[in-house]
Amino acid sequence: MIKKTLVTCFLFLTLFSFSQDQKHTNSFFQSFKNNLRTSYESNSQWYLNDSKFGDFEEEEHLRSTNFLRLDYSISNQFSAGLQLESYAPENLLNNSKLYDKDFGLATYYLRFATKKIDITLGYFYEQFGSGLILRSWEDRALGVNTAMRGARIIYYPSNSIKITTLYGKQRKGFDVSDGDIFGVDTEIDISSTFDILPSSNLVLGLSYVGKNESYLKSDESITSDIPKLVNAFSARLDYTNQNFYTNAEFIKKSKDLRLNNIIPNIVSFSESKTFKGNAISWTAGYSQKGFGVSYNFRRLENMRWFSERAQSNANNNPTNQLSVNYLPALSKQHDYTLANIYLYQSQPGLFIENYESPLIKAGEIGQFADVFYNIKKGSLLGGKYGTKINLNMSYWASLATDFSDPTGIPYFVSDNLTYETEFLNFKNKLYSDLNLEVRKKWSKHLKSIFTFINLYYNKSVLESKADNSTVRAWIGVADGVYKFGKGKSLRLELQHLSTNDDARNWMGGTLEYFFNSKFGVYVNDSYNYEDSKIDQDTKIHFFNLGGSYTNGATRFAINYGRQRGGLLCVGGICRPVSQNTGLTLNFITTF
Amino acid sequence: MFILNSAIMNKKKYLFILFLGLFTQAQSPLPSIELKTLSGQFINTNQIAQENQLMIISLWATWCVPCKNELDAVAEVYEDWVSETDVKYFAISIDDSRTSKRIKPMVDGKGWEFEILLDENSELKRAFGVSTVPYTVIVKNGLMVYKHTGYTPGYEDELYEQILKFSQ
């Protein structure tokens, strides 16, 4: 119904603008146009056969995904919008097959907003706190859209209190989830509401999120109580006092079923026992001009949560579609290709793997710290323009657990398994890294960035290999750009990854030239130059060349080359991708 | 109402709107979106547009190298920009919880002196219809008069020419 109303509304406005007489048409059309914001994005790939990898085996070689988004301000209070999407003839390689229409209406909304109240009907995106309890979002590069369809009301009783209530079903391709999501979030700026704590700022947030989804037992004789409604509660506090700040968030999630992955691709659940989840996150930092430091601690236990239980099977849903909350890996995010080979992926869920004795993955615990320092201009190390330094460290481990499985046998976990976790135990190390980044400007024309990374990656556990394989690696990157003026510039980037483990050493580089600020071309290559057991990477050039043209808010980019198989990470979310070779075209414009 | 039932007609209609738009340089009002300050207080884009006659909004993220290059470059000349044109620069971070804790130490560590605001769930980014950062918008009297996507070394000089044009 909402859908029809919105579409009618749009069509009516357009038709109306053409039915006016000429004199009025201009001014009406002008105002219509001024109140309409449009964006269009197109990503197309043409997969080619490869002399090294062999032929591309899927049927559709040429694929295109397209997004057209329209937002219209009807009046000062009312606005409406929609997003049309096209996946023709199907979604890009490695992206979710849920997005399966050649052309369709993906999202739409009608919004009424004043200073006091903000109501949205239709699809909306929302985040409570840091998203650990609830986040619906869109990332086109990853092919994720978890918008909710329903209603959201945000009410501001005063300038410093915000209350959000929502109900919805999550987007599932061009359909919506079976499960219903309810949520309430309150955010109170305590320092201004009660006029206390001058010179500092204290904000309290409280949330509730519920998911209602029925479950049909596979065996009626099981007497355990399987909850339809799974509840999560959270509390968070943000405190800032001039240069110092800290923030803490706690979440408790009620009992839910455990995924049973005896056969990885088949979704089934262990119905005898249900398990709770929880999360704790804490940050503290201090900063002043030229210096900043921050520390983060996070512990997640059984926090993977979906608006349809069946989607918790990671084999079938590697892109985390229909995820209720957002549980990204907290480690430094890199831009350089070789720094993106061994990347930590967060381990928030409960998975039990069947070996001789069961491997219980119940969650993760770890920490992350950053130091930023700006060496002053004119000093010995600072030179004429100053030097910017960033040191960053992270350490992550899986939760230490004890289990009891009275009816289990080697290689087969029973449905009666229960486990206990230790609260603070960092011994099951999964990943650690140390990153140093130095940015230095040498002259008006020349700038450089040097990056050093030392990392440890537990491949066996992170990629479920069960072979005790680990990777210790060093990565060095030198990146320099020379500006010739009038937008002309040349960038050279050299990379090396050194390790005796896994696929061994890599080298890589990029050369990029901008003819002016609009038009640029680049070539880059990554080459794994030592023999190793990883045949798919050994002595193959992952060579790419491409270019881009930008004019205002319009950008066109083209790339031809070979992509490495493995993990593709964008915005902290990683997913496995298969290697491919081909031509990629991107076009985006907004007006 | 038969139109509603025909996907093809709809498609044509939308494409037509798109087509018309291509030939026009619209000056839309800045969308009204709630952002946050670094200390966690709410602030609406309309409010900042009312308080600043000429301003630049630049979407960025701590993990985006071109964004940081742009902000570093702007930081070097920002004092001159302000004294010559009275422009105010708002660097609005789209970092989500993965990286948002790095914003404050990074901004202070780098000594950037323009305004920093947070768009924690990319509401403003979506309202702009953008999928990549950096993305820069010049806002004059509440209207978006100039938009640009991406950053190439030296682009800040072109941006300043635009600012000069709109500051008159």
Q: What is the pLDDT of residue A568?
A: 64
| Residue with more model confidence, A569 or B43 | B43
Q: Which chain B positions have a beta carbon within 8 Å of A247's beta carbon?
A: 101
d(CA A128, CA A126): 7
Give the minimum alpha-carbon distance from A545 to chain B in angstroms, rounded to a whole number: 18
Q: Is the peptide bond before A89 cis (omega within 30 degrees of 0)?
A: yes
**Percent of residues, chain A, with pLDDT higher than 90:** 69
Render pLDDT for A180-208 as a digit per residue (tens, 0 to 9): 999 999 999 998 888 887 888 999 999 99
Prediction pTM value: 0.90
How confident is residue A19, by pLDDT bands cut at 50, 70 and 90? very low
Q: So what's the ipTM on this one?
A: 0.87
- Strand bridging mode B88-93 / B54-60: parallel
Q: Phi then psi for A378, rounded to 5 degrees?
A: 85, -15
Query: Residue A105, exposed/middle/buried by CB under 10 A (0-12, 13-18, 19+)?
Result: middle
Q: What is the pLDDT of residue A1?
A: 46
Question: Which of these ranges, A64-73, A121-130, A576-585, has the smallest mean pLDDT?
Answer: A576-585
Q: Which residue has the tokens 């010739």?
A: A484
Q: Which chain B positions have a beta carbon within 8 Å of A330's beta carbon?
A: 98
d(CA A27, CA A88): 38
Question: How many helical (H) and strand (E) elements, i.e. helices and strands, does chain B have?
Answer: 7, 7
User: Residue B97 and residue A520: Cβ atoms within 8 Å?
Assistant: no
Q: Which residue has the tokens 């950037």?
A: B112
How confident is residue A455, by pLDDT bands cut at 50, 70 and 90? very high
The angle at the Cα of A583, spanning A582 to A584, to the nearest 5 degrees, equals: 120
For residues B16, A585, A326 and A264, what is the CA-based torsion angle, rounded to 10 degrees? 120
Q: Which residue has the tokens 């000069």?
A: B164
Q: What is the pLDDT of residue A192?
A: 85
Tokens of A235: 């509390």
Q: Phi then psi for B109, rounded to 5 degrees?
A: -55, -40
The angle at the Cα of A173, spanning A171 to A174, to the nearest 5 degrees, equals: 85
Chain A CA closest to residue B94: A571
Render pLDDT for A487-542 as a digit per residue (tens, 0 to 9): 899 999 999 999 999 989 999 999 999 999 899 999 999 999 998 888 878 888 99
8 Å CB contact between A349 and A261: no
d(CA B34, CA B123): 8
Interface of B with A in 76-95 (CB under 8 A): none
d(CA B114, CA A435): 27
Tokens of A369: 């710290």
SS3 content of chain B, % helix, strand, coil (to 5): 45, 25, 30
Chain B CA closest to residue A236: B40
Question: Which of these ranges, A260-264, A284-288, B124-128, has the smallest mean pLDDT?
Answer: A260-264
Distance of CA A209 to the CA centre of its chain: 21
User: Could you say which DSSP state residue B114 is in?
Assistant: S
For residues B3, A104, A584 and A36, what is the CA-based torsion angle, rounded to 10 degrees? 60
Residue A477 host element (H or E): strand A471-485
User: Would an 8 Å CB–CB cutoff place B142 in contact with chain A?
Assistant: no
Mutate to test the interface with B, among A8, A27, A34 (most CBs of B within 10 A): A34
Name, of A441-445, A453-457, B36-40, the range with top average pLDDT: A453-457
For range A251-277, the mean pLDDT: 89
8 Å CB contact between B129 and A69: yes
For range A20-40, the mean pLDDT: 75
Interface of B with A in 19-48 (CB under 8 A): 20-22, 24-29, 31-32, 34, 38-42
Q: Is the peptide bond before B66 cis (omega within 30 degrees of 0)?
A: no
For range A392-412, the mean pLDDT: 94
Q: For residue B110, give the 3-state DSSP assignment.
A: helix
8 Å CB contact between A265 and A317: no
CA distances from residue A115 to A73, A162, A183 in whole angstroms, order as listed: 16, 11, 22
pLDDT exceeds 90 at position A5? no
d(CA B126, CA B96): 14
Helical spans, DSSP H, in A385-428 = none
Q: Of A394, A281, A345, A376, whose CA–CA distance to A571 is shortest?
A: A345
d(CA A146, CA A279): 21
| Residue with more model confidence, A265 or A512 | A512
Mean pLDDT of chain A: 90
Q: What is the pLDDT of residue A116?
A: 94
User: Residue A552 and residue B3: Cβ atoms within 8 Å?
Assistant: no
Give the minimum alpha-carbon distance from B148 to chain A in angstroms, rounded to a whole number: 4
Q: What is the pLDDT of residue A24?
A: 55
8 Å CB contact between A70 and A10: yes
Contacts of A300 (CB under 8 A, 6+ apart): A132, A279, A327, A346, A347, A348, A363, A364, A365
Neighbours of B8 (CB within 10 A): 9
Strand partners, B148: B136
The angle at the Cα of B131, spanning A128 to A34, to the nearest 5 degrees, equals: 95
8 Å CB contact between B55 and A67: no
Compute the half-sphere exposure of residue A515: CA atoms within 13 Å on the CB side of its CA: 8
How confident is residue A579, by pLDDT bands cut at 50, 70 and 90? confident
Chain B CA closest to residue A437: B65
Render pLDDT for A45-77 as a digit per residue (tens, 0 to 9): 999 998 888 889 889 999 999 999 999 999 989
For residues A101, B129, A329 and A270, what is the CA-based torsion angle, rounded to 10 degrees? -30
Tokens of B29: 């009002």
Neighbours of A158 (CB within 10 A): 11
**Percent of residues, chain A, with pLDDT higher than 70:** 94
Q: What is the pLDDT of residue A478?
A: 97
pLDDT exceeds 80 at position A25? no
Question: Which of these ranges, A28-37, A381-390, A393-402, has the smallest mean pLDDT?
Answer: A28-37
Q: What is the pLDDT of residue B11?
A: 52
User: Residue A555 and residue B149: Cβ atoms within 8 Å?
Assistant: yes
Tokens of A229: 């409604």
Tokens of A431: 């990943």
How confident is residue A21, by pLDDT bands cut at 50, 70 and 90? very low
Give the minimum alpha-carbon distance from B155 to chain A in angstroms, rounded to a whole number: 6
d(CA A271, CA A222): 7
User: Could you say which DSSP state residue A60 is in?
Assistant: -
Q: Is the peptide bond before A348 cis (omega within 30 degrees of 0)?
A: no
Contacts of B51 (CB under 8 A, 6+ apart): none
User: Residue B17 and residue A240: Cβ atoms within 8 Å?
Assistant: no
| Buried residues in A392-425 as b, exposed as e (16+ CB within 10 A) | bbbbbbbbbbebebeebeeeebebebebebeeee
Chain A CA closest to residue B150: A550
pLDDT by residue for chain B (168 residues), tens only, comes to: 333 344 444 555 445 444 544 444 568 899 999 999 988 888 999 999 999 999 999 999 998 888 999 999 999 999 999 999 999 999 999 998 888 889 999 999 888 999 999 999 999 999 998 888 999 999 999 999 999 999 998 899 999 999 999 998
Residue A437 host element (H or E): strand A428-441
Mutate to test the interface with A, among B36, B79, B96 (most CBs of A within 10 A): B96
Question: How many helical (H) and strand (E) elements, i.e. helices and strands, does chain A have?
Answer: 4, 35
